[in-house]
C-alpha cells in the first residue's frame, strides 16, 4: 500500500491544482467563443463601410504621411468581398481611392474635410469637385464636411454656402454628415443637401445604453427623421459599436457586444429598407489620442487587417487568450520558483493562490496596456505599474517562504522598502482616481493594475511614510462616491474600480497603524523575528 502524503504536501498540491484550474478557467472564460444570430447570408454584400488607409502605427497627424496605393489596393480588394461601397472623410493625399475603387466595383461616398482652417477647407473642396467629376462611375455621392457643426469649427450658414457651391459643380448628390442631434439643432442645413446623412452612435450618446436599448433608439431616431424630413431620403452615415475600451453606464465595449449591435442593426436595416454606412472597416489606433482607448477599436477588421468575426460566426472577446494563459502560467511558475518551500501549512495553501492572482493580474494588465497606452508617458506609466506588481508579488511570495540564503536576503531588501511599495500603489491610485473624477470620458478603469498590491498590503500591513499614506488614502476615498455618482451603479467596471479603491484605502489605513515590526505572512499580525 502506498503511504499517504504528509499533510503539508497534500495542502500544497491541492492548492496548486486549484490555482492552475482557476487560471485556466479565467482565461477560457475571457476567450471562449459566443454564438450570436447572424443577420445576413455569409455571401451577401453589405451596403457601405467607412474606410481610412492608415496602418497600425500611422496617423493623419503624421506630417510626412502619404497613403500607400498598394495598401489601398489590398484594403479595397478585401472590402469588396463584403461591401458595395466605401465612405471616405478627406481627399488630401487620398486621390487614388476612386480609381482603385472602380477597379473592384466599389462605389465611393467621397468626403471633404471641412474645418476651421478655411484655406485647407477650400483645398479639400477643390479636390473633391475635381475627383467627383473625374470619376463619375465610382463616386456615387459627395459629402461636404463631417461633424463640423459638432466640433463648432464652422457656422451653419457658412456650411450651407459650401454645400450649395459644390452642388452647382458636380453631378452627384451632395450631403453633409453629423450626429443626429445637430441636424435637429440646425434645420437650416437640410434644404441645402440632396439627402441627410445622420450619425447614430448609441455608445457616445449623453445617456449611453446597452445593446437592446441602443438598437431600439436607432429605430426611434430613424423613424423621427424619416417623418420630419420627408420626402428627403436619410442615410445612416455612421453606426457601430466599439470592441475595446471603458464602459459607459450600461454601454459595454467588447467584440461580442460589437457583433450583437452590428448584426442586430443589419437585421433592422434589411427589415426597414434603410440606407446605411457602418463605422468602420479597420481599427484605427491613432483615434485613441483624441477619443481614449475606445476610439481605436470600432473596426470590423483589426489594424492588421484580420477579421474580428463581427459579421458572422462565433465571436471571442479575447481570441488570443491562449497566449495570455501561457504568460500567466509562466509568471505563476516563476513566482513559486522564487518563493521555494512554504513556511507553514497555511502558507502552503496561500502561496499558490497568491501566485495565481498575481500572475493573472499582471498578464491582464499587460494586455490592457497594449490596448490603452497611446504615447510614451502612458507606456512608461503602464510599465511602472507592471514593475510594481512584480515587486509586490515577489515580496508577498517571499513572506510565505521558508527559504534562507538569497531568498532571505531578497526578502529583507524588499521588506525594508515595503512601505514605499504601498505608497507607490497609493500614489498611482490617487492619480488615476483624480483623472476618473475630473476627466473621465476617455479614461479606462485600471481594475487589475492595483488589485494585487491592495489585497497584499490589506492582509499584511507594512510601515511606511505615514503622512503621505494618510493623504493618499484620503484622496482615493474622497473620489469613490463622486466617481460612482457620475458613472452610475449600472457600470460594473466603475463598481470594480471602486472596490479596488476601497481595498487600497483599507491597505493604506491599516498600514498607518502597523507596528514597525515585520508582520506575519498574510495575517497582518506582528510576529517579531518571523515572516
Same domain? 243 vs 392 = no
Other beta carbons less than 10 A from residue 392's beta carbon: 26
- The pLDDT of residue 9 is 86
191 neighbors 150 (Cβ within 8 angstroms): no
Per-residue pLDDT at 2 exceeds 70: no
Does residue 202 register a pLDDT over 70? yes
Q: Is the residue at 309 inside a domain?
A: no
505 vs 11 pLDDT, higher one:
505
pLDDT class of 3 with cuts at 50, 70, 90? low
Whether 342 has a pLDDT exceeding 80, the answer reads: yes
CATH number (domain holding residue 61): 3.20.20.80
Residues 389-402 pLDDT 10s: 999 999 999 999 98
Among 296, 329, 362, residue at a domain's last position? 296
Same domain? 132 vs 11: no
Do 475 and 436 meet the contact criterion of CB atoms below 8 Å apart? no
- 92-98 contacts, C-beta under 8 A, 24 or more apart: 92/120, 92/123, 92/124, 92/127, 93/65, 93/66, 93/67, 94/53, 94/67, 95/127, 95/131, 96/67, 96/69, 96/72, 97/51, 97/53, 97/72, 98/131, 98/134, 98/135, 98/138, 98/139
Instruction: Specify whether 325 is located in the same domain as 237.
Output: no
What was the pLDDT predicted at 277?
98
Same domain, 286 and 324: no
Q: Are residues 431 and 390 in the same domain?
A: yes
What is the structure's pLDDT at 201? 97
Residues of the domain holding 335: 7-29+319-512
Q: What number of CA atoms fall less than 13 Å from residue 494's CA on the CB side?
A: 24
Residues 122, 189 share a domain:
yes
pLDDT of residue 526: 40
225 assigned to some structural domain:
yes
Mean local confidence (pLDDT), 284-306: 95
d(CA 52, CA 72): 9
Does residue 23 register a pLDDT over 60?
yes
Q: 42 falls in which pLDDT band (50, 70, 90)?
A: confident
For 402-415, letters b (16+ CB in 10 Å) and e give: ebeeebeebbeebb
Residue 36 clears pLDDT 50, i.e. is over it: yes
> Residue 63: which pLDDT band, with cuts at 50, 70 and 90?
low
Residue 414 CA to residue 392 CA, distance in Å, equals 9
Verify that 340 and 216 share a domain, yes or no.
no
| pLDDT for residue 426 is more than 60 | yes
- What are the pLDDT digits (tens) for 121-175? 999 999 999 999 999 999 999 999 999 999 999 999 999 999 999 999 999 999 9
Enumerate the β-bridge partners of residue 17. Answer: none
- 206 inside domain: yes
Q: Is there a single domain that holds both residue 102 and residue 241? A: yes
> Across residues 287-314, what is the average pLDDT?
95
In a domain? residue 222: yes
Backbone angles phi, psi at 386, to 5 degrees: -65, -40
What is the rounded average pLDDT of the residues 99-103?
A: 97
Same domain, 345 and 275: no
Mean predicted confidence (pLDDT) in 278-307:
96
Considering its fold, how many domains does the chain have in total? 2
Share of the chain above pLDDT 90, in %: 88
Same domain membership, residue 435 and residue 323? yes
Same domain, 341 and 404: yes
User: pTM for the full model?
Assistant: 0.93
Residues 6+ apart with CB under 8 A from 367: 318, 324
For residue 71, pLDDT over 90 is answered with: yes
| Residue 471, number of CB atoms within 10 A of its CB | 15
The pLDDT assigned to 530 comes to 43
CB-CB neighbours of 484 under 10 Å:
15
Q: What is the pLDDT of residue 524?
A: 44
pLDDT bucket at 53, cuts 50 / 70 / 90: very high
Average per-residue pLDDT for the chain: 93
Grid cell locating 30: 475571457
pLDDT at 521: 42
pLDDT of amino acid 522: 44
pLDDT for 81-90, tens place per residue?
999 999 999 9
Rg of the chain over CA atoms, in angstroms?
28
Written in H, E and C, the secondary structure of 301-325 is ECCCCCECCCCCCCECCCCCHHHHH
Does the residue 311 lie in any domain?
Answer: no
Helix H or strand E encompassing 141: strand 139-146
Report pLDDT digits (tens) over 467-487.
999 999 999 999 999 999 999
Is the pLDDT at 10 greater than 90? The verdict is: no
**Max Cα separation, the chain?**
97
Amino acid at each position: 500500500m502506498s503511504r499517504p502524503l504528509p499533510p503539508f504536501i497534500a495542502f500544497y498540491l491541492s492548492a496548486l491544482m486549484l490555482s492552475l484550474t482557476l487560471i485556466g478557467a479565467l482565461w477560457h472564460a475571457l476567450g471562449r467563443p459566443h454564438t450570436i444570430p447572424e443577420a445576413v447570408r455569409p455571401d451577401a454584400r453589405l451596403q457601405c463601410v467607412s474606410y481610412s488607409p492608415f496602418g497600425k502605427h500611422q496617423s493623419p497627424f503624421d506630417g510626412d504621411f502619404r497613403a500607400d496605393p498598394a495598401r489601398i489596393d489590398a484594403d479595397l480588394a478585401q472590402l469588396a468581398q463584403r461591401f458595395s461601397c466605401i465612405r471616405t472623410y478627406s481627399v488630401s493625399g487620398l486621390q487614388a481611392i476612386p480609381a482603385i475603387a472602380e477597379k473592384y466595383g466599389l462605389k465611393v461616398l467621397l468626403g471633404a474635410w471641412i474645418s476651421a482652417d478655411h484655406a485647407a477647407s477650400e483645398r479639400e473642396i477643390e479636390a473633391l469637385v475635381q475627383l467627383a467629376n473625374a470619376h463619375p462611375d465610382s463616386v456615387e455621392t459627395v459629402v461636404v464636411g463631417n461633424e463640423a457643426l459638432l466640433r463648432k469649427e464652422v457656422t451653419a450658414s457658412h456650411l450651407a454656402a459650401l454645400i450649395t457651391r459644390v452642388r452647382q459643380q458636380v453631378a452627384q448628390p451632395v450631403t453633409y454628415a453629423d450626429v443626429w442631434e445637430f441636424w435637429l439643432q440646425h434645420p437650416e442645413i437640410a434644404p441645402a443637401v440632396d439627402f441627410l446623412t445622420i450619425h447614430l452612435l448609441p455608445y457616445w450618446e449623453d445617456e449611453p445604453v446597452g445593446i437592446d436599448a441602443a438598437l431600439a433608439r436607432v429605430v426611434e431616431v430613424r423613424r423621427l427623421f424619416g417623418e420630419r424630413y420627408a420626402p428627403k431620403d436619410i442615410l445612416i452615415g455612421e453606426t457601430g459599436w466599439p470592441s475595446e475600451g471603458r464602459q459607459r453606464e450600461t454601454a459595454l465595449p467588447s467584440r461580442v457586444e460589437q457583433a450583437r449591435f452590428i448584426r442586430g442593426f443589419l437585421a433592422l436595416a434589411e427589415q426597414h429598407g434603410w440606407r446605411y454606412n457602418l463605422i468602420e472597416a479597420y481599427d484605427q489606433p491613432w483615434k485613441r489620442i483624441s477619443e481614449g482607448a475606445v476610439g481605436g477599436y470600432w473596426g470590423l477588421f483589426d489594424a492588421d487587417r484580420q477579421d474580428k468575426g463581427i459579421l458572422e460566426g462565433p465571436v471571442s472577446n479575447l481570441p488570443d487568450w491562449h497566449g495570455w494563459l501561457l504568460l500567466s502560467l509562466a509568471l505563476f511558475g516563476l513566482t513559486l520558483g522564487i518563493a521555494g518551500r512554504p513556511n507553514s501549512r497555511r502558507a502552503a495553501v496561500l502561496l499558490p493562490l497568491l501566485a495565481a492572482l498575481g500572475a493573472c493580474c499582471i498578464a491582464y494588465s499587460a494586455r490592457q496596456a497594449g490596448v490603452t497606452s497611446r504615447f510614451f508617458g502612458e507606456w512608461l506609466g503602464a510599465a511602472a505599474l507592471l514593475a510594481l506588481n512584480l515587486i509586490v508579488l515577489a515580496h508577498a511570495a517571499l513572506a510565505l517562504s521558508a527559504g534562507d540564503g538569497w531568498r532571505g536576503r531578497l526578502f529583507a531588501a524588499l521588506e525594508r522598502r515595503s512601505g514605499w511599495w504601498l505608497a507607490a500603489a497609493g500614489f498611482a491610485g490617487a492619480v488615476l482616481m483624480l483623472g476618473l473624477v475630473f476627466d473621465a470620458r476617455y479614461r479606462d478603469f485600471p481594475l487589475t493594475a492595483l488589485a494585487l498590491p491592495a489585497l497584499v498590503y490589506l492582509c499584511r500591513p507594512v510601515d511606511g511614510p505615514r503622512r503621505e499614506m494618510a493623504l493618499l488614502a484620503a484622496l482615493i476615498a474622497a473620489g469613490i462616491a463622486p466617481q460612482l455618482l457620475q458613472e452610475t451603479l449600472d457600470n460594473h467596471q466603475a463598481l470594480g474600480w471602486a472596490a479596488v479603491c476601497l481595498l487600497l484605502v483599507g491597505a493604506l489605513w491599516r498600514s498607518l497603524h502597523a507596528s514597525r515590526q515585520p508582520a506575519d505572512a498574510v495575517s497582518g499580525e506582528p510576529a517579531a523575528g518571523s515572516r
